[in-house]
Structure 1
Amino acid sequence: MRLEANLYQHQTLKLAMTQELTQAIALLQYSAQELTSFLEMKAMENPLIQLESSNVKLLDPHHAYPKNKRLNYSERDQKSWLEQIAEPSKSLQDYLFMQLTMKALTGKQKYLINQIIYNLDPNGYLTIDLEEISKLCGTSLVEAADCLEMVQQLDPPGVGARNLQECLLLQIERVNEAPPLVKTIIQDFFLEFAERKWKQLARKLSIELSEIQQAADYVQTLEPRPGSHYQTEKPHYVVPDLIADIQDGELSLHLFEKHLPTVHFQKDYYQAMSTYKDKQVKDFLKDKTQDFHWIRRSLEQRKETLIKVGISIINWQQDFFFKGPSYLKPLTMRDISEEIGVHESTVSRTVREKYIQTPFGTFELKTFFSTGLASSTFSDQEQTSAVQVRKTIQELINNEDKSRPLSDQKIADLLKQLGMEISRRTIAKYRDQLKIPSSSKRKRYD
């Protein structure tokens, strides 16, 4: 065998993931808050970067702004800064302790009640056994029970309950007009009632099904989570990255950047440091200048890509912007990537945690990507989206005969008549997503 060393030349194409390219990809997928944090960090590292921030009034993502009224962000409301100050919130515990301030309690009772109140979950239910409370406080079980009764007499009615049954009973006992039958059913036949074994229950109580239906209607007026109204979680606000506006029947799109800091070059610092002849200083200035220009280029590329993706989404989803969310069409990220000539992963990074303000409210860009469902009467361009199917299911159930509610199979048959080929199991899945109970639990006995 003859072995020889030879030189061969061949051409290959590969992508080298430089540090700048890696950072550019990360910058593209940053949300507004993440991008702001990144720029602030860069400004601390690079003395040539100066950030200029502007305060902006936050938008409620669930609010629908008028179609014909363009928001003027340049006119600052003199009181808008007050709206961004955290509003003092009252927790459930604070509300309960406030009601106890006028009660004459012994030190032992205060200690027991503190243990009870601080062991309530956000819904107002007691999450610890009375036996454990009495052991922790070194008191008798009777004393612990007496203190729990004090808490259960406070507002909101039902607070301090250990389960749903007790929560409902506490509320029923506080209301004089509660029908006597309701207390009997909840107290002695709660499981049969909750599982809707109403025919069996009617025979036991020798009453009509319509009377149980009336009791059920009353129970629906009670609050199963009495403490939920006192949760201290702040409302979620977002600032849109894009604004889609309708002017004279025309749809326009523009970037909204006032929530982002503006990047400036520190000329004074650069000129002052340039006077030094030290090589390390010159290398430092060169490196930081390149860093500044890279950030400016990456920000411009981010804007350009975001605008391209936004325009493409609008082109695909025009009915959504003119008629409303129920007209959302099937759309994939591949559709967008092919239209604007970028990789699908680029679209995915672009829409991550980005928002667009529309005439019908503020939505996350991911909202506009909905899979299509098979349809016998729609063309490929007019497929039925999952959103439309859920809307149709909701409408069918809203208009059904409550004494003979539609089964999942019946809904599937009706959708088929409308040209939507949906399986019974898919109907059940969408119904669960809409938080609609099964047909047996929707039936009424009026």
Structure 2
Amino acid sequence: MNLKAGLWQQQTLKLTMTQELSQAIALLQYSTQELTEFLENKALENPFITIGDVSSRKNNKNKGKAEKKNDWIEQIADQSFSLEDQLLSQLNFKKYSKFQLSTIKDLLKYLDESGYFRGDTEEIAQKRNISKDLVDECLTIIQGLEPVGVGARNLQECLLLQLEWEFPDDELAQKIIKDHFLLFAEKKWRMLAKELQVSIKEIQDIFDRVQQLNPKPCAEFSTDHTHYIVPDAIIEVTSGGISVRLWEASTPKINFNEPYYKQFSTSGDHHVGKFLQEKLQDFQWIMKSIEQRKETLAKVITKIAEKQVEFFLKGSQYLNPMTMKELALELDVHESTISRAVREKFVQTPFGTIPLKTFFSSTIQTVYDESTSSSQVKNVISNLIEKENKLRPYSDQEIVEMLKTKEGIVVSRRTVAKYRDQLGIPSSSKRKRY
């Protein structure tokens, strides 16, 4: 073995992660909102980058002012009351002392968005230097307000408050929720029926009654605003076939302030010139990265549309099996590029706006040497369970056999259980009716 020291030259090919490449990769995986935030931050960093058209913004601003003058009455009607305001409005202030009202107002601050009380009565009593009994008394006053269930400390108490209000004569239901809640929730009804000396049918009827109650009584008062999903592309079915177009209206347009740039470029200062060159290059990199992002998205979404024609023509139950690796091979790109391209991206289809990741599913073999997707298998499982006899629901193993004999789909019992859990469908023992 030759271990002599020496100097050699060796030529190798190596991919270097440049700033431009790193930025292009980052922009590809950005969602529309993340891309907007990125561009807004860049506009703050780079004085020569402007977002949107200034004149149109002024027009929109003036238009907004005009609209505000005309819709002030509608704005009054639009003002929504908070949960705290809604509850306080139900109190008879003459009935309670100032001390009680002060404590009630303090307790209301501990209600979460669903109406549950998340405070500690002992700590509140110590903090206010009052007795715990007084705090509990004030909490009971809150629990007597509407919506029924507000002020409950947990789900059990929330359901009990509603039962006492909605079904005051149903002593068995109240006893079950109060003293046997865990057994009831876990559907260990045989054990519960034996302990209470009642029939399973009676417990099942109570279960149906409890299902009508609201586990989140104050959710309607939540101040969270609705967040609308903006699609990155629109796929339509036309007489000429399936069309794909990127939806760019949601992404702000960036421009380079050429007059401002020229104003400084005549200074003759070396440092200013270097600064200008850096900022111009920064703008060019961003524009190139955005263009690459558009091209990659267009290629990926167009290829998805080509491979999922039946989905767009007939619906989600006709989703063909397709993996990111398969798509990457067809587009001659790395699998990670597909993963980044579909991350947090949405597409508007004839069946609603859905995430791009929806179109990727594992391949499952059938007895006919064909393949189907996991989404199709889930649809079949869901339909089988929906039509089953609830007095004798199908076990996971029975579903395995039915998938094989009726649909020609070969899956294991474990796979059926996993898909059932993903669909939010309980096991056969918990689906059973009496």
Q: Alignment partner of 2:89: what SS?
A: helix
Structure holding more helix per residue: 2
Matching residue of 1:291: 282
> How many Å separate the matches in 1 of 2:179 and 2:47?
74
Q: Give the CA deviation at 1:280.
A: 3.6
> How many Å separate the matches in 1 of 2:19 and 2:125?
61
Matching residue of 2:135: 144
Q: Alignment partner of 2:90: what SS?
A: helix
Which sections of structure 1, spanning at least 5 residues, go unmatched?
55-75
Aligned length: 416
Q: Give the CA deviation at 1:310.
A: 0.8
Matched, 1:412 2:400: yes
Matched, 1:433 2:422: yes
Matched, 1:342 2:333: yes
Written as runs of structure 1 = structure 2, the 5 A alignment for 1:177-188 is 179-188=170-179
Q: Which has the higher contact order (CA 8 A, sep 6+)?
A: 1
> How many Å separate the matches in 2 of 1:437 and 1:261?
46
Q: Alignment partner of 2:388: what SS?
A: coil
> How many Å separate the matches in 1 of 2:241 and 2:332?
26
Matching residue of 1:24: 24
Q: Give the CA deviation at 1:35.
A: 2.0
TM superposition score normalised by structure 2 = 0.85
Matched, 1:198 2:186: no
> How many Å separate the matches in 2 of 1:188 and 1:353?
46
Q: Write the letter of the residue equivalent to 1:95.
A: Q
Q: Alignment partner of 2:158: what SS?
A: helix
> How many Å separate the matches in 2 of 1:219 and 1:19?
59
Q: Give the CA deviation at 1:150.
A: 0.8
Written as runs of structure 1 = structure 2, the 5 A alignment for 1:16-95 is 16-52=16-52, 90-95=81-86
Residue number among 309, 324, 335 corresponding to 1:318 in the alignment: 309
Contact 2:93/2:101 (<8 A) preserved? no
Matched, 1:242 2:233: yes
Residue number among 88, 99, 124 corresponding to 2:115 in the alignment: 124
Q: Structure 1 residues 197 and 39, CA, compared in 2 at 3 Å: closer, same or farther?
A: closer
Contact 1:356/1:364 (<8 A) preserved? yes
> How many Å separate the matches in 2 of 1:2 and 1:105?
95
Deviations 1:103-126 (A, max 9, x none): 532232123323432223333333
Q: Give the CA deviation at 1:207.
A: 4.1
Q: Give the CA deviation at 1:390.
A: 1.8
Q: Structure 1 residues 101 and 5, CA, compared in 2 at 3 Å: closer, same or farther?
A: same
Q: Give the CA deviation at 1:182.
A: 2.6
Q: Alignment partner of 1:100: what SS?
A: coil
> How many Å separate the matches in 1 of 2:430 and 2:109?
36
Contact 1:241/1:355 (<8 A) preserved? yes
- Structure 1 stretch displaced more, 114-123 or 231-240: 114-123
Deviations 1:22-71 (A, max 9, x none): 222222222222222222333333344332159xxxxxxxxxxxxxxxxx
Q: Give the CA deviation at 1:318.
A: 1.7
Residue number among 147, 152, 155 corresponding to 1:161 in the alignment: 152
> How many Å separate the matches in 1 of 2:205 and 2:308?
46
* Percent identity between the two aligned chains: 50
- Structure 1 stretch displaced more, 239-248 or 290-299: 290-299
> How many Å separate the matches in 2 of 1:430 and 1:3?
62
- Structure 1 stretch displaced more, 178-187 or 410-419: 178-187
TM superposition score normalised by structure 1 = 0.83
Q: Write the letter of the residue equivalent to 1:32.
A: T
- Structure 1 stretch displaced more, 408-417 or 275-284: 275-284
Q: Give the CA deviation at 1:201.
A: 4.0
Matching residue of 1:442: 431
Matching residue of 1:15: 15
> How many Å separate the matches in 2 of 1:50 and 1:163?
52
Matched, 1:386 2:374: yes
Which sections of structure 2, spanning at least 5 residues, go unmatched?
55-62
Matching residue of 1:212: 203
Contact 1:373/1:384 (<8 A) preserved? yes
